[in-house]
Amino acid sequence: MVNIIKYYIFRVIESQKLRIEKSMKATATVTSVTTVAIIAFSTLLVLFSGPTGSSITMTAYAEQTDTINLTKIVNASKDKVWNIISNVDKNPDYWPISIVKNISKSDNTVEREVTVPAPPLMDNKAHQIISLIPDQFTIIENQTQGAVTGVKTISLLQAENDANKTEVSIVWNLDLSKIPGIGKGFAKDGISKSVDEALNKIADDSK
């Protein structure tokens, strides 16, 4: 009888120990998941908020499936070239677009609707958010709606240590996922050609 009692006392103790161990593991798991979530959230805050005092308004960017990267040396100062490219209302002079309307506009940010070249049977309307960063001679154009979306970055650098030569760099990260497979190559070629033509027009107007 005594042995039976001892056995049941032993089972009760073991059962309680098992419950405690499970509880501790569950707590540790919850703590671990919570910690990971906090770290991930903090990382997202850093990525989308940018450095303290940053003048860039970050927005959700489209998925990137292709990239166009072209540069051209222009025989003009950075300030002169900047005066041309920063006048975003004059974009139709350099790019194959038409401005439908400006939704909002401040000193360094423009939100607008435009029409752009589009494949047959696809909508040619697009939505753009443009951020100007004068102290970095950089323009970021985020096209968030349209047949083709993505981010176009135009930046200026003094070239060859010559104040009268400027390197104009255009990097366009494209999302062509809405374009049917057979048309993706044609679309990218057309966009690449428009970038090359825009660089030539900017160079001509900078003389």
Per-domain residue ranges of the chain: 1-49, 66-205
In this prediction, residue 155 carries a pLDDT of 98
- Average pLDDT by stretches of 10, the chain with 207 residues: 41 46 44 38 36 41 79 97 97 97 96 92 93 98 93 95 96 93 90 97 96
Q: What whole-number distance in Å separates Cα of residue 149 and Cα of residue 61?
A: 9
In this prediction, residue 64 carries a pLDDT of 67
Report the helix count and the strand count for the chain, using DSSP H and E: 3, 7
In this prediction, residue 61 carries a pLDDT of 52
In this prediction, residue 123 carries a pLDDT of 87
The answer to whether the CB of 26 falls within 8 A of the CB of 34 is: no
In this prediction, residue 125 carries a pLDDT of 95
In 3D space, the residue among 16, 26, 55, 35 whose CA is nearest the CA of residue 140 turns out to be 55
How do 138-145 and 149-159 pair as beta strands? antiparallel
Placement of tokens 């049977």 in the chain: 121
Q: CATH code for 66-205?
A: 3.30.530.20
